[in-house]
């Protein structure tokens, strides 16, 4: 029997760090052997240091692990990072320089030219960029990032359409869950009976990340996709589940049935390989007029599928739809 890869979690006590630990419990390929967090948690057991915020119990096997500083060496083969952006760049670089593969949920390296910004069902060929990192990290370490939580729900919906017919432009309006702000997150008096029409940096992330992810890998570099992207982001009083209302303009003519078919039948390399966390279908189509809804649809595919509904013609662009994704599973820890 093949032994499991030993995993370290950076930022292990935070919301995304907890989700990493939850998703990796009893995983057939990975075993969490190291947890790292800020100064106030170091030296304590994980059970003492972490206030568990997720549904279900903290995994028993993790509770006794000693929380360490987020610095090499750690007793692991690779690290998953959920560090805040302000410290992620230096810390993740130090791990890669020490020979560790770093799978990062942080924004720090997403737009670097030699770093893959990965949605495995969309652009796994971008892993070819890792060749460029060999000169930076000669010890064999590397950095791979996953996109912003709201970007994933949009891009996974756009990818099959773009490949089949070409997407010229999209306008995306997001309704983003409060868990996306971490814990303690948005103050209750700000979000109760309210919608916040601004989330710092989110619109820019969607607009830039989308074109990189959908770009072509040519001559060991990414040629960004020539798609015009306009985003408007809102924080809403929903616990989990980011919704995107999108309008798209196509380069080639396609019927509504054409679009529905390419979305409903879309699979890619993770499905072909039968990866443990890969949903059978990364996109789920709902035909009801009132779907998707966060409460009903965020857990589709164990939180790894994007649910698309309200697919219809648009009077200004060509088509419009609503997509929904679980922001802390597919949009964060599950994406890694």
Number of other residues whose CB lies within 10 A of the CB of residue 260: 16
Bridge partners, 35 (sequence order): 9, 67
42/50 Cα distance (integer angstroms): 11
Q: Which residue has the tokens 């990965």?
A: 118
Which residues are CB-contacts of 135 (< 8 A; sequence separation ≥ 6)?
A: none
Terminal-to-terminal C-alpha distance of the chain: 25
The DSSP line for 162-179 is HHHH-EEEEEEEEEE-GG
Q: Which residue has the tokens 């106030």?
A: 40
29/22 Cα distance (integer angstroms): 14
With b for 16 or more beta-carbon neighbours within 10 A and e for fewer, the 17-46 pattern comes to: bbbbbbbbeeeeebbbbbbbbbeebeeeeb
40/49 Cα distance (integer angstroms): 8
Which are the catalytic amino acids? 149, 242
Using a 10 angstrom Cβ sphere, with 0-12 exposed, 13-18 middle and 19 or more buried, the burial of residue 99 is: middle
């Amino acid at each position: 029997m093949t032994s499991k890869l030993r995993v370290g979690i950076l930022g292990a006590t935070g919301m995304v760090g907890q989700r990493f630990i939850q998703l990796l419990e009893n995983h057939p390929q990975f075993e969490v052997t190291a947890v790292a967090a800020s100064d106030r948690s170091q030296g304590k057991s994980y059970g003492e240091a972490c206030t568990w915020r997720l549904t279900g119990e903290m995994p028993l096997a993790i509770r006794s692990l000693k929380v360490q500083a987020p610095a090499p060496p750690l007793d692991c083969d690779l690290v998953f990072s959920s560090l805040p952006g302000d410290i992620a760049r230096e810390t993740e670089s130090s791990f890669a320089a020490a020979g560790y593969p770093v799978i990062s949920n942080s924004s720090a390296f997403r737009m670097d030219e030699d770093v893959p910004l990965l949605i495995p069902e969309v652009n796994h060929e971008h892993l070819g960029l890792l060749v460029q990192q060999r000169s930076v990290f000669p010890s064999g370490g590397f950095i791979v990032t996953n996109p912003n939580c709201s970007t994933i729900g949009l891009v996974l919906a756009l990818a099959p359409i773009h490949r089949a017919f070409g997407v010229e432009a999209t306008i995306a309006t997001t309704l983003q869950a409060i868990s996306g702000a971490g814990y303690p997150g948005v103050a209750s008096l700000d979000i109760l009976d309210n919608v916040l029409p601004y989330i710092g940096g989110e619109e820019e992330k969607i607009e830039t990340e989308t074109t990189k992810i959908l770009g072509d890998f040519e001559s060991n570099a990414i040629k960004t996709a020539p798609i015009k992207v306009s985003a408007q982001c809102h924080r809403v009083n929903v616990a989990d589940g980011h919704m995107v209302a999108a309008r798209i303009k196509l380069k080639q003519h396609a019927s509504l049935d054409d679009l529905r078919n390419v979305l409903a039948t879309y699979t890619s390399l993770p499905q072909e390989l039968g990866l443990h966390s890969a949903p059978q279908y990364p996109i789920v189509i709902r035909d009801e007029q009132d779907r998707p809804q966060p409460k009903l649809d965020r857990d589709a595919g164990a939180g790894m599928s994007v649910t698309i509904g309200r697919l219809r013609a648009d009077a200004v662009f060509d088509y419009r739809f609503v997509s929904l994704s679980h922001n802390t599973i597919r949009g964060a820890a599950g994406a890694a």
